Structure 1
Amino acid sequence: MPAQTFRTVFVLGILSAIGSLSIDMYLPALPSIARELSTTDAAVQFSLASFFIGLGLGQLLHGPLADRYGRKRPLYAGLALYTLASAGCALAPNIETLIVSRFIQAVGGCACFVIARAMARDLFDTATVARVLSRMTLIMGAAPILAPLIGGQVLNFVGWRAIFWGLTVFGAACFAMSVYWLPETRQAAKQARNWLATAWHNYGALLRDREFMGNALAGGVSQAGMFAYITGSPFVFINLYGIDPANYGWLFGLNACGIIGGSQINAYLLRKRRPADVLRRTNNLVAMLGLLMLAVAALRLGGLIGLMVPLFAYVTSLGFSQPNAIAQALNRQHQRAGAASALLGALQFLAAASAGAAVGLLHARSAVPMAAVMAACGVLSWCFHTALIRRAGPALPPSADPV
């Protein structure tokens, strides 16, 4: 891979990790935040759901802006908003302020991965995009491994507010990297069009596109299972199984290693197989693993280790499904790549918000609510893909691109 391409992919991976870092770093602190702000576990979990809602709705704004005004200016605006809102989270005096600040933080931060996906689509063809996204996952995957570990240590030594000050610094660093290291991959449109009308038209066309919607829903709903795990795992691991908050990150990081490994194996498979073929087989696996995990949780088989085995396999399978679902959804969307990336992400994170809220509403002293929502996500992902996408044709020859 040429040095300039490597640098671009590296920065896109860092930008794409901003969501995971913003979520995972404060997970060990959820019980502590509930105690310090004198609120309930469910209210603190809603601060996570509000972040998911912000990620979903914000992307619908950033995508059309990126198609109309170029990629970098909306990215700068989003990073500036993210950085200010992170400081607001650090200063929050009560749970209501934290929830609102988290929503604003998400609206700003989601510009990063909307525009990162659009830039990848600008620069590479469909098969190469899937491999580039797999390589980006290698970079992104450091966030869910390191973030809970760092968050747990910061929580022990400084307190949960310092976690958000760290995110403030990270946002400023991303802004600087974007200015100096990222190229502009799409110039602003010359015509003074009404971008809201254009966005409405593009979103309508995308919603009627069976290939886009089948892949977007399949990827988004299966990914929502991951966010059900993110929402439920702090209370399952820490409160139910007695894991120390400082050690929570090790368990979380183990599953993150699974998704990284899956994504790198996926990059190798794509040299010989179509993204659509790999995605179809993976969707079958995700549904079966979700149901297996629900059975283990309901029957309480094997304690924590018994639960971790299907959980690890489920998360690992997302390393195969996500890059291919995104690449297939963005296929044939070059002129509206920003809108397509935005709608793709909005569907994903609105599904994530629903999954996270469901875990919170079903909150019980067992792993069943988390496992049940993850199983439902796996089965629904399979249903959407089967209903909307026809069986793929013969495999395409591998691309010569060395990414």
Structure 2
Amino acid sequence: MTTKKYIKLILILGSLTALGPFSIDMYLPGFSEIAKDLHTSVAQVAMSLSSYFVGISAGQLLYGPLLDRFGRKKPLFIGLMVYILASLGCVYVTDIDSFIFLRFIQAIGSCAATVASVAMVRDLFPVKDIPKVFSMLMLVVGLSPMLAPTVGGYVTEDYGWHMVFLILMFMGILILIASQVGLPNSYKPDTSISLKPKPIITNFLSVLKEPQFYTYAFTGAIAFSGLFSYVAASPIVFMDIYHVDPKTYGWIFAFMSLSFIGSSQLNSILLKKFSSEQMIFGALISQSVISILFLILSLKNLLGLYETIGMLFIYLACLGISNPNTAGLTMAPFAKNAGSASALMGAIQLGLGALASFAVGVFVKDSITPMVAIMTTTTITAFIVLNIGKRFIKEKVALSDKDDLVIGH
């Protein structure tokens, strides 16, 4: 493969990967404006984030079999068309219920891009290059939550929140054209794959029965739902409770992403000395201590804007270390069912994330304590699940140096 072609593929796959994070993070600075325009509360607007997570969670399970059955480009084309139309719908929406529903449809569409990009990395690159390609794509995914809310903050302040969805629609159109013109047909449709519910469910169940899968998938997903509650609560916390403007909020959010990205890069260095299990254990212990301290401080009203940013920064750093390791150990036993295992892991993670962000919409109004309480509960639960689940793992499939898996939002 020529360098030029290699770069072109990485750029297109990277833009497919970035569509999801951009759709999640770019409209966050507009929460108070959307609430005003649609005559509702910021907490109700946060429900549109939960419905988006539910959509991606369901979409993960839906597109796996479709991409294997019909090849990569047809389902991708249809998914992106759905995304483009739903984004356009969000521009003209007049009430909160339609907005929440359209965000769900938008997520189902964007999910095609996320799942297809992962599948196509496996199709297009030699096995030895896959970890390298994934880490390049992760950089794109990592930069998205830094760029998206910052750009969103400026767009919202200068042109209003409707403009954000117009920009997302045009991104969808560009990505649709690039992927149809620039990506090869990397996979022959496999007509032997059944789309009947029974074989699909049987396949998912066989994955779920593996103790190493359920231990690390649930530990990772429960711990990670702390990130989703932070994302959902952040517009309320920073713009409503601490009264920062949309532009400043965008910058705070970008700064927080540094913590998550930095620690997941640090993780690769630490793995030379420690095993994945040790890293998960250490990260969860630290995360438990930090979240309990965070909760005590917020109950005693000792947190201003800067203290809150500091505590969240350390909390997210622990997640950046545990997440790649739980993902790697979840996927390690599956040479054959990797697609189903990956889709199921994604669905569990996003499903629990949707629940956490839904709880935020219900409880977080004029104090940050409910958000911190949700984060503390999920962290301690994850730690308990890890220690109970470990007892059921008879023979562990370890990660070799070659399988440097990094998966995340």
Q: Same fold (TM over 0.5)?
A: yes
Contact 1:117 1:341 (C-alpha < 8 Å) held by counterparts: no
- Bigger drift between 271-280 and 388-397 goes to 388-397
Deviation of 1:26 (Å): 0.7
Unaligned runs of 5+ in 2: none
| Residues 229 and 128 of structure 1, relative CA distance in 2, 3 Å threshold | farther
**Residue matched to 2:242:** 241
Q: Distance in 2 between matches of 1:59 and 1:12?
A: 17
Q: Distance in 2 between matches of 1:11 and 1:380?
A: 39
| 2:82 equivalent to 1:81 | yes
Aligned residues: 401
Look up the SS of the partner of 1:191 in the other structure: coil
| Residues 271 and 10 of structure 1, relative CA distance in 2, 3 Å threshold | farther
| Residues 16 and 373 of structure 1, relative CA distance in 2, 3 Å threshold | farther
Q: Distance in 2 between matches of 1:223 and 1:124?
A: 31
Deviations 1:335-374 (CA, angstroms, capped at 9, x unpaired): 3333222211111111111101111211231111111111
Deviation of 1:398 (Å): 3.6
**Residue matched to 1:38:** 39
**Residue matched to 2:301:** 300
Letter matched to residue 95 of structure 1: I
**Residue matched to 2:222:** 221
Contact 2:328 2:399 (C-alpha < 8 Å) held by counterparts: no
Q: Distance in 2 between matches of 1:10 and 1:375?
A: 38
Letter matched to residue 97 of structure 1: S
**Residue matched to 2:327:** 326
- Bigger drift between 61-70 and 174-183 goes to 174-183
Look up the SS of the partner of 1:365 in the other structure: coil
Q: Distance in 2 between matches of 1:83 and 1:233?
A: 27
| Residues 104 and 396 of structure 1, relative CA distance in 2, 3 Å threshold | closer
Q: Distance in 2 between matches of 1:387 and 1:182?
A: 45
Deviation of 1:41 (Å): 2.4
Look up the SS of the partner of 1:389 in the other structure: helix
| 2:81 equivalent to 1:67 | no
| Residues 185 and 265 of structure 1, relative CA distance in 2, 3 Å threshold | farther
**Residue matched to 1:201:** 202
Deviation of 1:324 (Å): 2.6
**Residue matched to 2:158:** 157
Look up the SS of the partner of 1:373 in the other structure: helix
Contact 2:70 2:189 (C-alpha < 8 Å) held by counterparts: yes
Deviation of 1:32 (Å): 0.7
Deviations 1:208-233 (CA, angstroms, capped at 9, x unpaired): 12212222222222221111011111
Deviation of 1:181 (Å): 4.3
Matches within 5 A, 1:124-143: 133-143=134-144
Letter matched to residue 152 of structure 2: G
| Residues 387 and 129 of structure 1, relative CA distance in 2, 3 Å threshold | farther
- Bigger drift between 79-88 and 161-170 goes to 79-88
Matches within 5 A, 1:4-403: 7-120=8-121, 133-183=134-184, 186-191=187-192, 193-270=194-271, 273-389=274-390, 398-399=401-402
Deviations 1:16-50 (CA, angstroms, capped at 9, x unpaired): 33222111111111111111111122321111111
Letter matched to residue 261 of structure 1: G
Deviation of 1:310 (Å): 1.9
| Residues 77 and 380 of structure 1, relative CA distance in 2, 3 Å threshold | farther
The percent identity for this pair of structures is 36
Letter matched to residue 112 of structure 1: A
Deviation of 1:60 (Å): 1.5
| Residues 91 and 400 of structure 1, relative CA distance in 2, 3 Å threshold | closer
Contact 1:78 1:111 (C-alpha < 8 Å) held by counterparts: yes
Deviations 1:264-294 (CA, angstroms, capped at 9, x unpaired): 2223344565444433432333333322322
Deviation of 1:8 (Å): 4.2
TM-score norm. by structure 1 comes to: 0.89
Deviation of 1:190 (Å): 4.2
TM-score norm. by structure 2 comes to: 0.88
Deviation of 1:149 (Å): 1.4
Unaligned runs of 5+ in 1: none
- Bigger drift between 392-401 and 200-209 goes to 392-401
Q: Distance in 2 between matches of 1:212 and 1:87?
A: 39
Look up the SS of the partner of 1:53 in the other structure: helix
Deviation of 1:240 (Å): 1.0
Look up the SS of the partner of 2:294 in the other structure: helix
Deviation of 1:261 (Å): 1.1
Deviation of 1:9 (Å): 4.5
| Residues 129 and 369 of structure 1, relative CA distance in 2, 3 Å threshold | farther
Letter matched to residue 314 of structure 1: Y
- Bigger drift between 190-199 and 238-247 goes to 190-199
Look up the SS of the partner of 1:364 in the other structure: coil
Letter matched to residue 57 of structure 2: G
Deviation of 1:165 (Å): 0.6
Q: Distance in 2 between matches of 1:204 and 1:152?
A: 43
Q: Distance in 2 between matches of 1:279 and 1:7?
A: 36
Contact 1:134 1:264 (C-alpha < 8 Å) held by counterparts: no
Look up the SS of the partner of 2:189 in the other structure: coil
Q: Distance in 1 between matches of 2:308 and 2:193?
A: 55
Q: Distance in 1 between matches of 2:191 and 2:234?
A: 48
Deviation of 1:121 (Å): 5.4
